[in-house]
Every structure is written in structure tokens, then in C-alpha cells.
Amino acid sequence: MLNEKDLDSLLSSSHIDFNQYETLYKHFHSHPELSFQEAQTASTAASHLELLNASYEIHTSIGGHGLAGVLRNGTGKTVLLRADMDALPVKEDTGLDYASKVTMRDNDGIVKPVMHACGHDMHVTALLAAAERLAKMKNSWSGTLIVLFQPNEERAGGAQAMVDGGLYSKIPIPDLVLGQHVMARKAGSIGCRVGNIMSEADSFKITLFGRGGHGSMPHRTVDPVVLAASVVMKLQTIVSREVDPDQFAVVTVGSLQAGQTENIIADRAEIRMNVRTQDREVRQRVLAAIRRIVKGECEASGATKEPLIEETTRFPLSVNDKSITKSVHESFGRFFGNRFDPDTACSTASEDYSILGSSNGKPCCFWFFGGVDEKTWDETKNRGRLAEDIPVNHSPFFAPVIQPTLKTGVDALCVAALTFMRNS
């Protein structure tokens, strides 16, 4: 096992221009693209890999705008490093001079503001920098490196789309899959754990059917707004009254839409909701409760027909393989020292990256790295206001400090890859 000094010496010997990558990060941040529409991001990444002149085999347009670069360097493990590329329909409010002003039409044709509110711009930049650094270190490792840039993570379809689009007929099947995510935690810090690392997620669109009419004649109608309000309130009792307090579950209604004006009672309402769980039995219990509550409230309200419950997205439970994660932990512990937490909490958020491994029965390891300015974090923590004052992922105020966040992400990818591909 390489010690901290050996790893630091290896990485230092393969100098890369971080100024260039900071500029590239700002470009990605100010030019975000929604899920399914990541064409320019993928093109920029592919062009950058080509300009490295490092013999990467580049494969584009996999499962949409998916991109993979393959660097073959003798015998050994095949390691896949993954980054996601898509942004969110959020209006940025960070005040940065490189803040996004982009708007795009979503898949429903609605024009929306777009922001990298989840840090995928940082993921892409870190992976491109790691691709250059590892290419410059070819004398220090042996095997095959895959750098994969995935579209459509936010809608839970990108990893499966790449697999279904023939990913593994174009590139080698990896021995293991590694990935990371920038989070609202102290910059420079790294967190990982054996076992569950991110939650399973299910999203639904629920259509409730009433009977529309004049706002002054509610007795002649079945008001879907009142029905929807009852459903939303009752759904909140699932976690508090039906899930064991020792178990984890989140039920969130993120959207409720009905009607167009104040004096017309609409004939339907639409609820969009999201569920997070970390246990299969709990998941089944929660989903069954949702269906029971929705149907029961519709019957109690005299709805004109059965509700329509449609699953829109589903993320798998992300589980870090014990064997490879312990190896990553050893390397991270030696390299990052006390900045590394080997027992970080399982995140309530979700990811689809593990499909890149599970589709072929291959193990995965995923970790988090912090993006909040160290001084800001410490001062906010001392005031006891981390939850209130530190913007989290998907917030219009979420903006990782570029350094040391970027360097930490690059170091983590390189150290993890070298754990399995280094020369004896």
C-alpha cells in the first residue's frame, strides 16, 4: 500500500494547470444544460479529452449525450471513473460573476431557467483534470482507465440509457465503478462508508379527478383543490405514524397544481411527489400507504373517477461494496488524513451511477467531497446555524467554492484509481 508521502509525490510529479480547469469550471457553470440536452457539455468534454493527446479512445452519443474515454495502459484492472453532466431547472441567485443566465425549454416545451445547482459542473471538471493527471502518470500504473460522462442523472435515466445504448459493446466492462459528489460540507473534506451510501428514490405524478364549475357554486362541484390538500396533509402522516422511528423514510410533495384562475373550480389536480428509503421493506410499506391514502381520500371526497398514479423516476439504493470500499478507505486515510471520514452518514439523496456496475454484477464505491468555504463553514458551525445558513444542493444559492474543492475532487479520483491500478 502506498503511503501518504508516496501518493503525494506521485500526484505532484504529474503537474496539471489548475488555472485552466478553474476557467473550464466557470464555463460549465455559466453554460448549464437540462437533462436530455447536454450536447454542448458533452462536446466540450470530448474536445478536451482529444486535446490532451493522451491516446484516449473517445466514444460519444451513448444513450443520448453520454461520453466515455478509454485509456489502455497494459495489463491490470479496468477502472471506471464517472461524472454526471446535467443541470437543474432552477433560477440561480448566487450573485457570482459567472452565474448562469441560461434558459431552456424542458421536455414539456416550457421555458425554464437553468442552473448547475447540484455541482455536476464540478464533477465534470474534476474528472477531466483527473483524466489528464492520470494520463501523465502512465509510468506509475498499469491497467485500463475509463472516464465516463453521464447525461440525465437528475431524471434517473442516464446510467441505464447508456447501458441500453450499447455502452459495454463500445468500451471494456470495468472491474469496478468509482464516483463522487460535491456536497454542502466543509471544503477539503471527504466522506465515505461501507454499505448504503445513498437512498433509494421513487417519484410519482398523481392526477386527482373532480368535477369543475363556478367558484360561487362549490356545492355543484367536486373540488380537486380541497381533495389535493387533504391528500397532501394525510401523506405527511406516513413517516410519523406508519414507519418505525428506527427506520428512515422521507415523503415529499414537491408540486401541487390545479386550476388557472380564482373563480373557476378546476376539474382535476396534479400532485408530484418523491419518496426516499434505505430499506426494501420500508419502501414497500410507504408505497402501499401512498396508494391507500390517495384512493381513500378520493373516495371520501366523491371523486368522479379513480386517481391516476404514475411512477415517473426511480433511483436504486446505492451500496458501497465492502471489499473495494475498504481499499479506498485505506488510501484516502493515508492521503487525506483527518480530512477523511470513513463512516459518513448515508445520504438521503439518491444516484443512478451504480447501474453502471450492477448491470454487469460489478462492485461500486461512491464518496462525497465538500464544497463550502472552510472559514464560512467553521464560523457558521460555531453559531449553530449550519442547517439555516449553508445552502444545500438544488438551492438557487448553491455554489461550491472553486478551491480547494476542485483539487480535492481531482485528488480523490486519482487516489482511488491508483488504489487498484498502481504498479507494484
Decide: helix, strand or coil at residue 343: coil
In the chain, the N- to C-terminal Cα span, in Å, equals 9
175 counts as catalytic: no
Handedness of CA 320, 351, 201, 401 (dihedral sign): positive
Separation of alpha carbons 306 and 298, rounded Å = 7
C-alpha cell at 42: 458533452
C-alpha cell at 326: 475498504
Find the catalytic residue in 33, 38, 84, 86: 86
Instruction: Name residue 36's amino acid.
Output: F
Residues 6+ apart with CB under 8 A from 301: 210, 222, 223, 226, 227, 230
Which pairing describes strands 364-372 and 190-191: parallel, antiparallel, or unpaired?
antiparallel
Tally the C-alpha atoms within 13 A of residue 15's C-alpha that lie toward its C-beta.
2
Separation of alpha carbons 250 and 283, rounded Å = 10
Of the candidates 409, 407, 415, the residue with the CA atom closest to the CA atom of residue 328: 415
H/E stretch holding 45: helix 39-51
Separation of alpha carbons 103 and 78, rounded Å = 39
86 counts as catalytic: yes
What are the Cα distances from residue 417, in Å, to 174, 183, 290, 414?
12, 21, 42, 5
Find the catalytic residue in 84, 132, 153, 297: 153
Separation of alpha carbons 370 and 96, rounded Å = 19
The whole-angstrom distance between residue 391's C-alpha and the CA centroid of its chain comes to: 16
Which are the catalytic amino acids? 86, 153
